[in-house]
Amino acid sequence: MALPACAARALGPPLQPERRAPARTTCPRRHSRVEAELAASRPGSVAASVLAGPPRAPKGVFLPGGSRARRWDLGSLCRALLTRGLAALGHSLKHVLGAIFSKIFGPLASVGNMDEKSNKLLLALVMLFLFAVIVLQYVCPGTECQLLRLQAFSSPMPDPYRSEDESSARFVPRYNFSRGDLLRKVDFDIKGDDLIVFLHIQKTGGTTFGRHLVRNIQLEQPCECRVGQKKCTCHRPGKRETWLFSRFSTGWSCGLHADWTELTSCVPAVVDGKRDARLRPSRWRIFQILDAASKDRRGSPNTNPGANSPSSTKARNASKSGKNFHYITILRDPVSRYLSEWRHVQRGATWKASLHVCDGRPPTSEELPSCYTGDDWSGCPLKEFMDCPYNLANNRQVRMLSDLTLVGCYNLSVMPEKQRNKVLLESAKSNLKHMAFFGLTEFQRKTQYLFEKTFNMNFISPFTQYNTTRASSVEINEEIQKRIEGLNFLDMELYSYAKDLFLQRYQFMRQKEHQEARQKRQEQRKFLKGRFLQTHFQSQGQSQNPSQNPNLNANQNVTQNLIQNLTQNSSQNLSHKENRESQKQSTGQEQSDGNTSNGTNDYIGSVEKWR
């Protein structure tokens, strides 16, 4: 039924049914923006709140009542949370560090705006500390850091010659040697006619030392070594003559591993017969040279046992053309050398090319039988190696350093065995003592030092001590070691003699070096004192008037006389020292000089005290 018009106007417009939210058929972002605009336009309207829809929830979160909201980006949420958390942590850390800094440096905080400055300074210190830690870990990643060893700054530098060889600074000498035996100073003239002859004994480290001679010496004209070639060309400056007679310069010109008997007969003939010793003569030519040299020796009066005296040795060290030959060699502990040679023979070494020429001929098969029947002795056990009575490894160092002509070469029937061994040992000791230089494999740095002081030639790089060798890897019991020592009893005696002489020479040269340095400092102080007195009196003379000071001329005369005496004393000391050196070298250093220095007397006295 229709209502009257007045009643309809009074009641107002008819109520409309409640509308639901329309279906979201459009983009959710655009629709939500429209709803927000409607809600903002009618903030108090119920329909606006209805049209705005339920509140939105984060991604993956369900609202109460089972209605599900749209998902948010999880990565953006994590980044936002992490950023706000780090910001809060940094802010808290800033306040904590600021409080600590303010308590420590409180009195300084009153000057100006210290809060901001203190924070910057603290941050700079922290960053510097972190940078230092990073650099330290980069430079020294290990636990044993050289920078952290504070004792290296407090303790003095150790002696390289003592620490490298692990030997005591002082030892008890067993033999008495004269000053001429201990002092070895060769006036080696590389531009003249002097020649170094290297006697290379098997398995003594001679290969390494020979390479040092051609590749590691500071020379005006270094040896020319080509890649792929064992021999080097070692010419004198401005000449086409060699100054070195060794395996790596002239080759095996006198035979493979020629001994003292072969070298002393062959080298002068080879050098006199050929201007260029680099060319190796033929095998037949070597026999001719050695035969001619042996005939000359048999015809000379030096064929008796006294031929091994220092005078005859000095005569053999010079050739007809006036060349001076300086023999050098390297020795090794007999047990280690014997084991090393056994290992080398196991790998197939034979040294069949060795001539063993003595008295102009090689030994016969009866005089020197072979220990094996095949081509080599490879794979032989140690027992078999020791059981061969003709093994040349037994007492090899004594045999190669002695004059074999004194005992009839390799003919064992010339004299009894006991007498033969005694003559060989004494001959080897005498030849070793009168050599220009010898070194020991067990003392590499001391060997380098003595060679440099003897020949006044310096090496480029220092020698290296190898404590691990093939011989050291061989494990033997005490019984086998005693047997090896018994087979090499002559070498054991020679090595003990050589080690004693070697270490005494080293100590003598070191003390002589310290004494010369001390004397040089004293002379420099005297010279500076004289210059000071001279300038002092001259300045006084210029400031005063000669007419007012009648004693000025007398003072000047006294000053001049004092200066002249100081200079004359220093020059006389130097001249006396040079005269003693020249006289000692001209006499061959066989007799001890009566006017020895204080350092020599102290050393000889200390030797007597130790004994």
E strands, 126-185, where? none
Contact between 209 and 411 (Cβ < 8 Å)? no
Beta-carbon contacts of 206 under 8 Å, excluding residues fewer than 6 positions away, are 198, 200, 247, 329, 330
Query: Which one-letter amino acid corresponds to residue 590?
Result: E
Distance, CA of 491 to CA of 425 (rounded, Å): 8
Distance, CA of 382 to CA of 587 (rounded, Å): 49
Contact between 180 and 586 (Cβ < 8 Å)? no
Burial of 327 (0-12, 13-18, 19+ CB in 10 A): buried
Q: What string of DSSP letters covers 244-259?
A: EESTTTT-STT-TT--
Token representation of residue 264: 């002393």
Distance, CA of 289 to CA of 269 (rounded, Å): 6
- Catalytically active residues, by annotation: 257
- Within 10 angstroms of residue 98's Cβ, the number of other Cβ atoms is 15
Distance, CA of 406 to CA of 401 (rounded, Å): 12
DSSP single-letter state for residue 170: -
Distance, CA of 358 to CA of 403 (rounded, Å): 9
Contact between 606 and 171 (Cβ < 8 Å)? no
Contact between 355 and 256 (Cβ < 8 Å)? yes
* Helical (H) or strand (E) element with 198: strand 194-199
User: Rounded to an integer, what is the distance from CA 372 to the centroid of its chain?
Assistant: 42
Token representation of residue 15: 């109520």
Token representation of residue 120: 């910057």
Distance, CA of 302 to CA of 298 (rounded, Å): 8
**Could you tell me the maximum CA-CA distance found in the chain, to the nearest angstrom?**
175
| Alpha-carbon distances of 490 from 205, 421, 429, 482, rounded to whole Å | 20, 8, 11, 14
Radius of gyration of the chain from its Cα atoms, rounded to whole angstroms: 48
Contact between 188 and 457 (Cβ < 8 Å)? yes
- Within 10 angstroms of residue 439's Cβ, the number of other Cβ atoms is 25
* Helical (H) or strand (E) element with 440: strand 437-440
Report the SS3 class of residue 438. Answer: strand
Distance, CA of 204 to CA of 442 (rounded, Å): 10
For residue 68, the cross-strand partners are 62
Contact between 57 and 28 (Cβ < 8 Å)? no
